[in-house]
Amino acid sequence: MDKKIFLFLIVLFLVIQKIISVIVPYNLFMYVLIGAFFYFLYKSKKYLKMISFSWVEKNRIFKFVFEVILYTVILYLIIFVYQWLLSLNDNLFYFFNFNWDIINNISTLNLQKIEMQIFDKTNIIIKNIDIILSIIYIPIAIIYEEILFRGVIYGFLKKYLKFNTLISIFITSILFSFMHSNSINIIDFLNIFILGMFLNYIYIKKENILYPIMIHFVYNSLILIFLYI
C-alpha cells in the first residue's frame, strides 16, 4: 500500500469515527471499530511489526510496576505544574478555560445538532447495557488507543515517512487529542496533548508498548477514582 494512501486512511479513519459515533451508541460502535482495526493489523503484518513489544519477565515485574506508577505520578505533576502556572495570570487562565466554539466545532465536526435519536438514551435497559459496555470497554480502548497511536501512527510517521522523532510525536499527539476531544476547552485539549506526548516519550524510551498501555490505564483509573470520591 502506498505510504501517502495509508496516512490518508488513518486520518479518514479518525474522522469517520467521529461521524459515526454521534449516530450509534458510542461503546457499541467502538467495539466494532476496534475489532476491524485489529483484524486489519492481523492481515497487514508489516504494520504490526512496527510496534515495539516484549513481555515483562517474572523477575522484572516489580520494577515494571514501580516504573509505571512513577511515570504516572510524573505525568500528573507535569499537568499540575502547567495548570498552576496558567492560574497565576487570570486572563491567561480564562483564555485557556473558555469553551471556544471553533475548537468545539472542529473537534465534534459540528455534528451534535444532527445527532440521530435512533436509540432512546433514557431507556433503563439501554442505560444498563451502556454501563456494562463502558466497564468492559475501558481496558480494551486503552490497548486499542496505544497500539493505534504509539504503535501504528507514530511508527508509520517515523519509519515509513521518515519524519524526525519530534514531528512524529507532535502529529501523533495532535491526532490523539482530536480523537478524544468533544465539546472541550483548550486546557482539556492540552491535557490530552500532553498525555499523548508523554506516553510517546515513554514508548520511545522503553521500546515496549506495554509501558504506555499501563501508564494510560493507571492515569485513567485515577481520574475515575477522583471523580467518584
pLDDT digits (tens, 9 = 90+) for 148-158: 899 988 988 88
Grid cell in block for residue 78: 507535569
Determine the pLDDT at residue 215: 96
What local confidence, expressed as pLDDT, does residue 185 receive? 66
What's CA 20's distance to the chain center, in Å?
A: 17
**Cell digits of residue 217:** 490505564
Query: pLDDT below 50 — which residues of the chain?
Result: 100-121
Contacts of 175 (CB under 8 A, 6+ apart): 10, 11, 14, 149, 153
pLDDT of residue 111: 38
203 Cβ neighbours under 8 A, 6+ residues apart: 52, 146, 150, 154, 209, 211, 212
Residue 93: φ, ψ to 5°: -65, -40
96-145 confidence digits (pLDDT tens)? 665 544 444 444 444 343 333 444 445 565 556 656 666 777 788 899 89
